Amino acid sequence: MLFPSPVFLSIFLPTAVGLCAIFRAPRLRNALLIVLSVAFYAWGGGWNAALLIVSALFNWAISFGYLSASRTRSRLTTAAAVAFNIGVLGWFKYAGFVVRGLNILLNVLLNVLLKGADPIAIPEPAAALPLGISFFTFQALSYTLDVRAGRAEPCRNPLDLILYICLFPQLIAGPILNWRDAAAQLKVNKMSWPSAAVGLRVFACGLAQKTLLADELAKLANAAFDCPADARSAPLAWIGAVAYTLQIYLDFSGYSRMAIGLGKMLGFDFPENFRMPLAARSMGDFWKRWHITLTKWFTQYIYIPLGGNRGGRARTLRNVAVVFICTGIWHGAAWTFILWGLWNGLFVILERANWIRADRMPRPLAHIYVLMIVIIGFALFRSSDLAKAGEYIVSMFDFHALNYVRVSRLIEPLNIKAIASLAIGILVSVPVAGVRNDARGGWRKYAAGFASAALIAWSYAAIIASGHHPF
Which residues belong to the active site?
Answer: 331
CA distance 338 to 332: 8
Provide the CA 175 distance to its chain's centre, in angstroms: 8
CA angle 331/335/338 to nearest 5° reads 50
Question: Nearest 5°: phi and psi at 164?
Answer: -60, -40
Provide the CA 28 distance to its chain's centre, in angstroms: 31
CA distance 392 to 378: 11
Residue 364: CB partners within 8 Å, gap ≥ 6?
none
CA distance 451 to 204: 9
Is the CB of residue 44 less than 8 Å from the CB of residue 4? Answer: no
Q: In sequence order, what DSSP letters do the residues of 137-161 get, joined into one string?
A: HHHHHHHHHHHHHTSSPPPS-HHHH
Diameter of the chain measured on Cα atoms: 81
CA distance 267 to 275: 23
CA distance 352 to 271: 27
CA distance 65 to 73: 8
Residue 116, judged by CB atoms within 10 A of its CB (0-12, 13-18, 19+), counts as: exposed
Provide the CA 120 distance to its chain's centre, in angstroms: 36
Is the CB of residue 284 less than 8 Å from the CB of residue 348? Answer: yes
Residue 299: CB partners within 8 Å, gap ≥ 6?
323
- Sign, Cα dihedral of 467, 334, 304, 135: positive
CA distance 72 to 394: 54
CA distance 383 to 201: 35
Residue 248: CB partners within 8 Å, gap ≥ 6?
214, 378, 381, 382
> Which amino acid is present at 17?
V
Residue 142: CB partners within 8 Å, gap ≥ 6?
176, 178, 179, 297, 300, 301
> Which amino acid is present at 191?
M
